[in-house]
Amino acid sequence: MKARAHVRISGYVTGVFFRYQTRELAQRLGLRGWVRNTSDGQVEAVFEGGKEAVEHMLEFCHRGPSGARVTDVEIKWEQPRGEFSGFEARYGR
């Protein structure tokens, strides 16, 4: 079963390799989508793929890399769209 989650992660989440580790894990899990830092200091991402892989990614988002301190993860479940060819870390805010 396919799933898609659009997430915003709050806390101490920029400057701690959150995007890099998110991209690496998402690629290993075979997910498609993107991750980026936002202008208000959050991390935003879209994960699309198998439901179990998306749920595994969301577990990572709740803890982040070792230097992060996640305080909130806002999850919006959406219909899978199949619009991505891979998973990328986006730059710029």
Q: Catalytic positions, please?
A: 19, 37
**Helices (H), ranges, 1-93:** 18-28, 51-63
Beta bridge partner(s), residue 37? 43
Sign of the alpha-carbon dihedral angle for 43, 44, 49, 52: positive
Q: What angle do CA 17, 20, 22 make, to 5 degrees?
A: 105
Alpha-carbon gap, residue 23 to 17, rounded angstroms? 10
